């Protein structure tokens, strides 16, 4: 094979740091196909190299759910969800760096009466990852996880969530990718991480028309006309971007982290509600609204919704001792929005911490227990669903059987001072290669003035098929 030599003065190479080294010629060797390798063979070699560095996989999912009992005429008794995705990862420079992209097709339907549906086909994630021994940079549409705890994580506020079915989807599946630039610097046992989110994206919620919507089936229940929502979303400009910094340090076998995030709240702030002098009795449920309004209403104004800035300071820790993992988080929010009984919002400072322990032991048992405590500073008694102190116990218990082909799992969340809870028992079958079949329940219980009790009528039984290829 012939070799071509190009001589380039090293003083013409631009370096990240200034150098006073003398200018010395460098030799770059460029290969080209010759007698030993034809152009076609050379091209095929390049294609094989590209193929070896490219991995593609995907999944197809279908989930059907039905309510365990019918509570009202406008309730959606059935839910159908389907999702298909494909992702590709191309590595280069010896596998250290890569480009990742995934496309999702998602459909969500509630019915059968006054049915509602959503369909999306778009780029789910798409980013480039570049690294050296002491630095890495990720730029693109992605999900970034801060914090150490599960299900409830006061420090994890980078990505918005899909809350169209409240907390029924698992926490990791509710995350919505965002356009983010992340830079991490590694020095000894320290990691410094910086993130910048140029464009605001709120969490996904429905205001009307579903069992999980903010105002549920209010329009149908009271035959209201003219009731619309006006959202004032921050303009997509760089000056409106979110940014944060995180410092991680390992001390002996303990991982510690400090973080600060300046961001927009993902959930809306309700500036005003058009029906004046409205005072709800502890709940914004459709039944409570029907009782307060006492009949049909004609509303000419809109519900004004906007988004507000907040500062979040966080702390996290984690360690492992034999079969036990200990972890925790704490965060201070200088302002957080809460809905009041006049259906407008107030903003209060919040302290929130979570401590937990998990056990991965013999016989394929996994037990996770977390205690969460949210404290609202300068509490206002008009706030719906939350007390000044909001302690809860949440976690997961699971066990595998028959070498992992069968798994029983229970996820739980108990509000300790509100007489309400959420339970999600499920069994997962994995006998067929690449196919997971899940059969489960979603159970909400509580008084009408509690957050879990708001969805007391939404208990479901479901079956979920997910095939990986």
**Burial label, 38 (beta-carbon count in 10 A; 0-12, 13-18, 19+):** exposed
> Residue 366, Cβ neighbours under 10 Å: how many?
15
SS3 content of the chain, % helix, strand, coil (to 5): 10, 55, 35
List of the chain residues with pLDDT < 50: 1-35
**What is the model's pLDDT at position 124?**
97
**What is the model's pLDDT at position 14?**
30
Query: In angstroms, rounded to a whole number, what is the distance separating the alpha carbons of residues 144 and 11?
Result: 39
**What is the model's pLDDT at position 294?**
67
**What is the model's pLDDT at position 29?**
39
Query: In angstroms, rounded to a whole number, what is the distance separating the alpha carbons of residues 311 and 334?
Result: 6
Closest CA to 352 of 309, 395, 392: 392
Give per-residue pLDDT as tens, 392-446.
999 999 999 988 899 999 999 999 999 899 999 999 999 999 999 999 999 999 9
Given a contact cutoff of 8 angstroms between Cβ atoms, the answer to whether 157 and 136 are in contact is: no
Question: Tokens at residue 444, please?
Answer: 């909400």
Given a contact cutoff of 8 angstroms between Cβ atoms, the answer to whether 335 and 307 are in contact is: no
Give per-residue pLDDT as tens, 213-270.
998 888 887 776 667 889 999 998 888 999 999 999 999 999 999 999 999 999 999 9
Query: In angstroms, rounded to a whole number, what is the distance separating the alpha carbons of residues 439 and 450?
Result: 27
DSSP 231-262: EEPPP--GGG-EEEEEEEEEETTEEEEEEEEE
370: which strand partners? 356, 394
Mean pLDDT, the chain, integer: 88
Tell me how many degrees the CA angle 268-274-278 measures, rounded to the nearest 5.
95
Query: In angstroms, rounded to a whole number, what is the distance separating the alpha carbons of residues 448 and 456?
Result: 8
The whole-model pTM stands at: 0.86
Closest CA to 179 of 149, 199, 163: 199
Strands, E assignment, 322-388: 324-339, 345-360, 365-376
DSSP three-state, residue 219: helix
Residue with tokens 């200990």: 326
**Burial label, 91 (beta-carbon count in 10 A; 0-12, 13-18, 19+):** middle
**What is the model's pLDDT at position 24?**
38
**What is the model's pLDDT at position 39?**
59
> Residue 402, Cβ neighbours under 10 Å: how many?
10
Give per-residue pLDDT as tens, 268-278.
999 988 877 77
**What is the model's pLDDT at position 172?**
95
Closest CA to 91 of 130, 58, 138: 130
Closest CA to 273 of 293, 248, 253, 287: 293
Give per-residue pLDDT as tens, 180-196.
999 999 998 999 999 99
């Amino acid at each position: 094979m012939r070799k071509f030599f190009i001589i380039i003065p090293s003083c013409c190479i631009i370096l990240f740091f200034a150098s006073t080294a003398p200018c010395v010629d460098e030799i770059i060797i460029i290969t080209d196909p010759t007698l030993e390798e034809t152009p076609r063979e050379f091209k095929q070699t390049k294609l094989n190299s590209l193929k070896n560095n490219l991995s593609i996989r995907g999944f197809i999912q279908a989930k059907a759910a039905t309510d365990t009992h019918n509570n009202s005429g406008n309730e959606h008794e059935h839910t159908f969800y389907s999702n298909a995705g494909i992702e590709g990862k191309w590595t280069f420079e010896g596998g250290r760096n890569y480009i990742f992209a995934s496309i999702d097709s998602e459909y969500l339907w509630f019915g059968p009466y006054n049915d509602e549906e959503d369909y999306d086909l778009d780029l789910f994630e798409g980013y480039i990852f570049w690294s050296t021994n002491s630095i890495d940079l990720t730029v693109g549409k992605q999900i970034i996880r801060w914090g150490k705890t599960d299900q409830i994580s006061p420090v994890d506020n980078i990505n918005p969530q899909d809350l169209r079915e409240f907390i029924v989807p698992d926490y990791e599946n509710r995350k919505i990718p965002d356009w983010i630039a992340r830079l991490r610097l590694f020095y000894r046992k320290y990691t410094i991480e910086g993130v910048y989110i140029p464009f605001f994206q709120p969490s996904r919620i429905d205001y009307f028309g579903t069992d999980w919507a903010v105002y549920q089936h209010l329009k149908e229940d009271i035959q209201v006309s003219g009731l619309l929502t006006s959202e004032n979303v921050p303009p997509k400009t760089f000056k409106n971007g979110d940014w944060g910094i995180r410092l991680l340090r390992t001390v002996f076998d303990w991982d510690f982290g400090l973080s600060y995030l300046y961001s927009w709240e993902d959930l809306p702030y309700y500036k005003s509600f058009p029906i004046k002098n409205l005072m709800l009795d502890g709940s914004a449920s459709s039944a409570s609204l029907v009782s307060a309004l006492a009949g049909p209403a004609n509303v000419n104004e809109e519900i004004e919704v906007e988004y507000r800035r907040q500062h979040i300071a966080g702390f996290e820790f984690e360690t492992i001792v034999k079969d036990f993992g200990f972890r925790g988080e704490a965060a201070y929010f200088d302002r957080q929005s809460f809905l009041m009984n006049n259906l407008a919002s107030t903003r209060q400072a919040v302290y929130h911490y979570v401590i937990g322990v998990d056990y991965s032991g013999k016989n394929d048992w996994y037990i996770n227990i977390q205690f969460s405590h949210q404290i609202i500073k300068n509490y206002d008694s008009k706030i719906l669903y939350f007390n000044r102190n909001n302690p809860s116990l949440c976690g997961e218990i699971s066990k595998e059987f028959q070498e992992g082909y069968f798994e029983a799992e229970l996820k739980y969340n108990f509000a300790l001072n509100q007489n309400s809870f959420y339970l999600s028992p499920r069994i997962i079958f994995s006998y067929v290669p690449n196919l997971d079949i899940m059969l489960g329940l979603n159970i909400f219980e509580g008084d009408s003035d509690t957050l879990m009790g708001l969805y007391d009528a939404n208990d479901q039984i479901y079956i979920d098929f997910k095939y990986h290829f």
